[in-house]
Structure 1
Amino acid sequence: MTVPARLPLLGLVGGVVAALLAVVAAAAFSGAALPSALLDPGAVVRWGLPVATVLVELTASVALGALVLAAFVLPRGGGRSGSDGRAWPSTMLVASVAAGAWAVLSLVHLVLTYGSISGTPLSSPSFGSELGLFVTQVSLGRTLLGITMIAAVSCALALLVTTPVGALGSALVVSAALAMQAATGHTVGSTNHELAISSLFLHLAGAAVWIGGLGALALVARRLGRDLAPTVARYSSIAAWCFVAVAVSGAVNGAIRLGGLDGVTSRYGLLLVAKVVLFAVLGGLGWAHRRLVVRRLHEVAAGPAGARQASAGVPGVFWRLVAVELAVMGAVSGVAAALGSSAPPIPQEPPTDPTPAELVTGHALPPAPTAELWLTSFRWDLVPALGCLAALVVYLRWVRRLRARGDQWPVLRTASLVVGVVIFAWTTSGGAAVYGHVLFSAHMIQHMTLVMIVPVFIALSAPVTLAARALPSRTDGSRGPREWLLGLVHSRWAGFFANPVVAAVNFAGSMIVFYYTDLFSLALTTYLGHLLMIAHFTLAGYLFVNALVGVDPGPTRPSHALRLLLLFATMAFHAFFGVALVSSETLLVPDWFGLLGRPWGPPALEDQQIGGAITWGIGELPMLFLAIAVAISWTRDDERTARRRDRAADRDGDAELEAYNEMLAARAGTTEQPRRG
């Protein structure tokens, strides 16, 4: 069956229309567009803001989705697959056009946002001058202006880049704008500040890749030809992960904003229920997309007519499902935009009479720590928690894939990964995270666990080795997980930082750089700084441990003697750092630890000195374990060398020893002087 060429565009238009109808209906139902009793900005602002919001989100989604397709999914031609790669440049053009529309709409959104929060009509004579103050003096205005500038930059980047690496870099730039947008949501003023920002970012990014990826795929599908089936299958895998991210983050956001079951009966709660229902429908369509359409595309592509049938027959099924899915996605986006313009039943405002701890950290002060509270206290850090879940699922799937084809993977390596992930989850969301926010000593427990204990288990689980064996390779010029991983492992940057000497210097020296500069303060006061701290020290620990006793590939490992030397030098440095903290009379980040008003525990400076002792004490135990492991490895290496020489001697009659004796005899003969008669 022949599909009209205009159907992809009609499908996208249908999705946009569904989004606009949904946002108008939801705004009318919630009362978000009703005139204000005090300062009314006018009907244009009241109705235009939710409409502009949904259009901004849709265009940003298409830009990000297209870049993700170019980085991870689409063939680029060449290789053994016979792919011509025609869809790749078209996708970058789609990303550029979408980013350009996003930039224009973001500017409109900025203007309408100021009119809404100030209650000033667009026709007011002072609107322009006040808007200038808004974008230069007010944090929200600067953020919205920054998003607009990022959209404009993304438009230019998408036209300039020509490789998957460039597409990934451009996607990260777009993601930065989504992170900025997450900081302007309903819940940023609540006491669950970090959880609100992380959940909203995951929600925005997951939905953007899912919706925008499908929209971009619909626009370039006709250029894929025989590559349509593998491309749709790859996108479906990404969409499944996006579904999980959106579902989990949406549940967290809903719980924060509703505050309990009583909030479900409010207008906001009913809109949220409608969004959940539409999202469930969307998930069902995605499942059908994977089970039905992908299977049929593969069947037809494998048939005798191959590419001709794939471009003329089966895509009719694909287009129909895409059109329905885009319409539902548009409706979900419209309801979400209306929710963003509506007041939740629980006011997301800071406490009216905050404690010193709430003023400084944004959280209520936890009770005095006990052994039980260290084990049972929990404050979800959503990004690391979902990262732990993803690591477990992916690792176990890789092990299952190896066993399905008859290969074996050591059980102890799998157990090591599970233990490392569980410890990491507790360190980032458990007692160490709860008390590490208010006690320097607890923070050092968290830090030393991340940098010295978790990496040992992760390195012994050999995740890179497992991935290289389990992940399929691609032959159509695209970059899948295996290509990205091996490209990173064999890159110059990875080779430099994985060098044993560099890894040791980074492992030890970054502690000085972090704690004696403003980086420590940024990690305490900003969520991004907190995430970067976790990522850096965990990765630094992994590179160091892998250079000593790891299994994963890396630069040529030094001799066992040099490994022990590096290890003992690092141990000495940790001891020096701990002693420096113990003897210090200056409080690190005094405007944080010194202003919490704790009624329990030691004074801040004394607690910092305790943290120094913990650094010294905790640091020595993993180092001792690594030293023992290196020594055992050295012994086993010598034993393997001796056995190899014995086997060689048995095969050739100890020819090596005979040759050595002959060499000594020849040297003795040349040095002996003849006697004179």
Structure 2
Amino acid sequence: MNGDYSIDGPVWLPTLPPSLGEYLAPNLQPVPLIPALALAAAVLYLAGAITLWRRGRAWSPIRTISFLTGCAAIAVVMGAGIEGYGLRMFSIFMFQQLTLMMAVPPLLVVGSPGTLLLRTTPHNRLGRPVLQAAIWGLRSRWGRLAIHPGFMVPLFLLSFYGVYFSGLADLLLPSWYGHVGLELLFLLAGILFTVPLISADPLPTRQTHFGRLIDIFAEMPLHAFFGVVIMMATDPMVEFFAVPPESWNINPMQDQGVAGGLAWSYGELPGVLLLMFILVRWQRDEASGWARSERAVATAGGDADMDAYNQYLQQLANRPERHR
């Protein structure tokens, strides 16, 4: 590739016009860094799950399938031909961003990789530093800061508004290093946003269910507004995407409209699913709390607070009425 289309670094651009077949074609980039990381994570996770099963210890197949599905989604979206088109098409790049930030993180987080790591890491010389690092990451001040709403919500929104409205996209996308760096940022921001909402791993702090709802409701309208702004824009939001390769037959403004539509529609669906997940878990936790309370009352032979209140009312009823 040459001229105005040049991108620094080891990249491969397709020559055929975009199509579903070309998107899914197994055309790896010269340095498939992110697919390789996803493959390594899947192998390590599966090795840990198999270790527990061989020891006769339980580990949820649903969690395993969820995590492996997330890794597979990363490998396809970042490793197939779609990555080549995402180098020069705003709509494809937006689809990849939304997948990394909204669709993949819940699949990875539901897999509880932190818990699996703590259960399978040996306590000998080789495993001890890994275990200590994992415990430090899950319980340290830095871990508490990373999942705090004051940090992870602005980081999540910065990945949209900050990247495209500040000119950061035009600065980084012409380089392979900047392009891959943005993709890693998207994945990290999505994971940090999702972990405090649905993670079952041992975290430094846990938000209340009400706090999780606030985080979701704070993100969803701003996310939809971002998509509407892109759809209504009359000029290219990212100059780098304004001149796609001629052989692709792409109208850059129509492509930008598709990118805005994806941000508004595809970006909202995972948020709605997360909201439903939080509400269901809240209802289950409330039901479990009532059940534990009832069992405690039955075991103790009564509710101490209620008995004291009834005794107080009985004392009031037995007091002689005062007459003037």
Question: What TM-score, normalized to structure 2?
Answer: 0.89
Partner of 1:654: 302
Match of 1:54 in 2: none
Distance between the aligned counterparts of 2:306 and 2:186, measured in 1? 53
Distance 1:367 1:570 in 2: 37
User: Secondary structure of 1:473's partner?
Assistant: coil
**Structure 1 residue 606 displacement after superposition:** 2.8
**Aligned match of 2:55 in 405, 409, 414?**
405
Q: Structure 1 residues 517, 448: CA separation in 2 closer, same or farther (over 3 Å shift)? A: same
Q: What residue in structure 1 maps to residue 266 of structure 2?
A: 618
The structural deviation recorded for 1:597 is 4.1
**C-alpha displacement of 1:367:** 2.0
Q: Matched residues in 2 for 1:370 and 1:628: separation?
A: 34
Structure 2 residue runs without a partner (length 5+): none
The equivalent residue for 1:441 is 91
Residue 240 of structure 2 corresponds to residue 587 of structure 1: no
Which residue of 2 is the match for residue 415 of structure 1? 65
| 1:471/1:481 contact within 8 Å kept | yes
Paired with 2:320 and 2:250, the residues of 1 have a C-alpha distance of: 83
Other-structure match for 1:676 = 323
Contact 1:564 / 1:627 at 8 angstroms: preserved in 2?
yes
Provide Cα deviations, 1:471-500, integer angstroms capped at 9, x if missing partner.
123569x96222222222223222101124
Residue 627 of structure 1 aligns with which residue? 275
The DSSP-based 3-state class of the residue aligned with 1:480 is helix
Go from structure 1 to structure 2 and tell me whether the alpha carbon gap of 1:609 and 1:472 turns closer, same or farther (over 3 Å shift).
same
Alpha carbons 2:7, 2:176 under 8 Å: kept? no
Task: Output the CA distance in 2 between the equivalents of 1:411 and 1:584.
Answer: 46
Would the alpha carbon gap of residues 456 and 663 (structure 1) be closer, same or farther in structure 2, given more than 3 Å must change? farther
CA distance in 2, matches of 1:599, 1:379: 20
Measured after TM superposition, the shift of residue 451 of structure 1 is 0.4
2:197–2:212 CA contact under 8 A, matched in 1: yes
Relative distance call for 1:626 and 1:676 in structure 2 (3 A) is same
State the alpha-carbon separation in 2 of the partners of residues 391 and 624 from structure 1. Answer: 27
CA distance in 2, matches of 1:641, 1:530: 47
Aligned mates of 1:537, 1:668 — CA distance in 2: 64
Partners of 1:673 and 1:374 in 2: how far apart? 87
Match of 2:41 in 1: 391
Code of the residue aligned with 1:445 in structure 2: it is: F
Do the aligned residues in 2 keep the contact of 1:417 with 1:461 (CA within 8 Å)? yes
Over alpha carbons, which structure has the higher Rg? 1
Partner SS state of residue 675, structure 1: coil
Q: Is residue 2:301 matched to residue 1:644? A: no
2:248 matches 1:563: no
Tell me which amino acid in the other structure corresponds to 2:224: A
Q: Give the length in aligned residue pairs.
A: 322
Distance in 1 of aligned mates of 2:320 and 2:186 = 67
Query: Where do 1:474-493 residues align within 5 Å?
Result: 474=124, 480-493=129-142
**Secondary structure of the residue that 2:196 maps to in structure 1?**
helix
User: Alpha-carbon deviation of 1:371?
Assistant: 2.2
Q: How far off is 1:372 after superposition? A: 2.2
d(CA) in 2 for partners of 1:494, 1:440: 33
The 3 A distance-change label for structure 1 pair 357 and 548 is same
Q: Determine the C-alpha separation between the residues in 2 that align with 1:379 and 1:667.
A: 81
1:550 maps to: 199
Task: Find the counterpart in structure 2 of residue 375 from structure 1.
Answer: 24
What is the aligned-residue RMSD (CA, Å)? 2.7
Supply the distance in 2 between the matched residues of 1:669 and 1:510 (Cα, whole angstroms).
Answer: 65
2:56 counterpart SS class = coil
Cα distance per residue 1:372-420 (max 9 Å; x no partner): 2222252334222221221122111111222233211101111111100
User: Given that residues 499 and 555 in structure 1 are in contact (C-alpha distance below 8 angstroms), is that contact kept between their aligned partners in structure 2?
Assistant: no
**Offset of residue 465 of structure 1:** 0.9
In structure 2, give the amino acid aligned to 1:675: R
Shift of 1:601: 4.5
Q: Which of 473, 484, 488 matches 2:123?
A: 473
* Contact 2:77–2:96 (CA under 8 A) maintained in structure 1: yes
Contact 1:523 / 1:530 at 8 angstroms: preserved in 2?
A: yes
- Specify whether residues 357 and 532 from structure 1 end up closer, same or farther in structure 2 by C-alpha distance, changes over 3 A only: closer
Matches for 1:29-48 after TM superposition, within 5 Å: none
The 8 Å contact of residues 586 and 605 in structure 1, kept in 2 or not, is answered as yes
Percentage identity across paired residues of the two chains:
28
Cα deviation, 1:310-367, whole Å, max 9, x if unaligned, reads xxxxxxxxxxxxxxxxxxxxxxxxxxxxxxxxxxxxxxxxxxxx46545789644532
CA distance in 2, matches of 1:551, 1:453: 18
Matched letter for residue 628 of structure 1 = M
Whose RCO is larger (CA < 8 A, sep 6+)? 2
SS at 2:16 equivalent: coil
The 1:638–1:602 alpha-carbon spacing in structure 2 relative to 1, beyond 3 Å, is same
- The 1:526–1:669 alpha-carbon spacing in structure 2 relative to 1, beyond 3 Å, is farther
CA contact (8 A) 1:366 1:435 kept: no
Cα pair 1:439 1:607 within 8 Å, conserved: yes
1:501-521 per-position Cα deviation (integer Å, ceiling 9, x unaligned):
532332223321222234323
